Structure formats: structure tokens, C-alpha cells
Amino acid sequence: MSATPDRQGRITPSDIRSRKGTEPVVCLTAYTTPMAQLVDQSCDLVLVGDSVGMVLHGLPSTVGVTIEMMILHGQAVARGLSHACMVVDMPFGSYEEGPAQAFRNAARIMAETGSQAVKLEGGAHMAETVRFLVQRGIPVMAHVGLTPQSVNTLGGYKVQGRGADGDRVLADAAALADAGAFAVVLEKLPAELGERITRDIPVPTIGIGAGVDCDGQVLVVDDMLGQFAGFRPKFVKRYAELGETAQQAIANYASDVRTRRFPGPEHIFTESKKA
């Protein structure tokens, strides 16, 4: 079943591209309708990230995420958006084989979720695929630096682009911008490199652990809301501690049930219609 979000007044990928060097682009992830409704009015971009596999499904990495999972969560997010541009991650194994495979799967994701664009990971070697998709009407957001789907070859979630390796990451970003990507995510790079790439490529950079000079910023919404106790990546600022609040609320509920303080008189029904 296709999602049918109201597109009137929605920010588009072209709008995001035109923001280069102007007002910073605000982006958060969302995986559900209620969260999409919460982030919609404050964000320019809402990313249905494959981080959903780790955040909501308990997977050890994003590698196990499937197209079906991305479509399910994409449909849910689409129902909650009326303002922000929606981008859906292409999961591992859905585009690396070549441009034709990438087109089939990207077209399916867009058709079944109502997303306005897809995001894929990888450097200059993905430029041909990005160009193929864009030429066929599929807007693409690229992703370089730390690419979580490649964590097994990168040797972990390490900072990328230090020293001479910065030239490689810059070349990756430039190649993807030249291929038609409307924006490029820069993940876990030295701030100096994030500033350099932002200055050198013609499309907006969206940073996640890449410094303040990027054209925009993205975080996993559950991280910045403090949903998970003890998980504090250096590049995440906690704007709330909802995990601690929820844990205490659940403990209070459990105590009230065990001591029969809940339900109280105000929560029950009686034979009298006045109650």
C-alpha cells in the first residue's frame, strides 16, 4: 500500500539544495508517526534512517536492516509530516550491486512510502549510481566519512578523514555532488575537514560529528532526547533525559500497582452513571 502524505507546502530536495551557504538546515531522524509529528514543524529534513534497526529493533548494527523495514517505518513517518522534506535510507545490500539494482529499490521505496528522496552511503565509487538515479527522477542525499553500513570494513565506528585521508573524503564528497546529489551527509570527521568540504562543494553538507561549519546538522532523535541511559556519543548534545524520566515513571507505576494505589477512585467506573 502506498503512503499518501499531503505534499502541499512541503520542503523539497531542491529547496534544501538552495540553502547552501544560507540558513543552516535542521535535520533529525524519525521512525514512527508520533515522532514525525513532533519533529515536523522544527525540522527542514526528516530522515527515516536505517539506524532504526539499532534504535527500535535491537540490532547490533545497521547491516541487518531490510527494505521492508525501511518501507514500513517510512510509511509511518509519512503520515506524520506536513512540512519537512522526507528522506529514506537505502539499506545495506539494496544498491551496491549497481545502478539498475539501486533504481529498482529506490523507486520502490519512494512509491511505497511517499518519500521525496533517498539516501545512500559510499564515496566516489557510488557517483555513477547517484547520477543514474538523479537522471531518472530520484533525488539522492549522499553520505561520506564514517558510513555505518561499512563498519565491518572500517574496523569500527572510528573518526574518518584524519591527516592525508582527508583528501580522499573531500574527493568522495566532490564526486557525489558532481553526480547530482542534492546534499551530502558528513559523519564523524575532524571539524577542520568538515569546514573544508563545506567550503569546496556546491551542495549543502549535513554534519553529524563533523563540526559547526557544515551547512546543516543531523542527529538521531532518540540520542538527543536521551532515550538510552549510558549511550553518549561525543558528537551528541543531550537536550533532554527522557530515558531517565520514563524509567522513573515506570517504577512509580509499578509501585502504585503493587501497593494498590492505582487505580484510584478517579480512575474507576461504578454502577452510578454520575461516576
Question: Where does the pLDDT of residue 151 fall: very low under 50, low under 70, confident under 90, or very high at 90 and above?
Answer: confident
What is the dihedral angle through the alpha carbons of 71, 77, 83, 85, rounded to the nearest 10 degrees? -40
> What integer pLDDT is reported at residue 5 of this predicted model?
41
Question: In a 3-state reduction of DSSP, which class is residue 53?
Answer: helix
Does 6 score more than 60 pLDDT?
Answer: no
Reply yes or no on whether the pLDDT at 249 is more than 50: yes
Query: Cell triple for residue 6?
Result: 499531503
Q: What's the pLDDT at 152?
A: 79
Nearest to 116 by CA among 10, 22, 211: 10
Position 274 scores a pLDDT of 66
Cell digits of residue 75: 510509511
Q: Reply yes or no on whether the pLDDT at 1 is more than 50.
A: no
User: Does residue 26 contact residue 43 with C-beta atoms inside 8 Å?
Assistant: yes
pLDDT tens-digit profile of 173-210?
A: 999 999 999 999 999 999 999 999 999 999 999 999 99
**pLDDT at residue 99, rounded to an integer:** 98
Backbone angles phi, psi at 28, to 5 degrees: -135, 160
Cα(9)–Cα(181) distance, rounded to whole angstroms?
A: 22
Q: What is the mean pLDDT of the chain?
A: 94
Q: Is the pLDDT of residue 2 over 60?
A: no
pLDDT band at 272, cuts 50/70/90? confident
44 is in an annotated binding site: no
**Residue 228's pLDDT band (boundaries 50, 70, 90)?**
confident
pLDDT for res 273: 74
Judge whether 158 is annotated as a binding position. Answer: no
Q: What CATH number labels 13-240?
A: 3.20.20.60
121 is in an annotated binding site: yes
pLDDT of 8? 59
pLDDT, tens only, 75-98: 999 999 999 999 999 999 999 999
Strands (E), the chain: 25-29, 45-48, 85-89, 117-121, 140-145, 183-187, 205-208, 216-219
Q: Domains of the chain: which residue ranges?
A: 13-240, 241-275
Q: Which residues are catalytic?
A: 187
Asked if residue 50 belongs to a known ligand binding site, the reply is yes
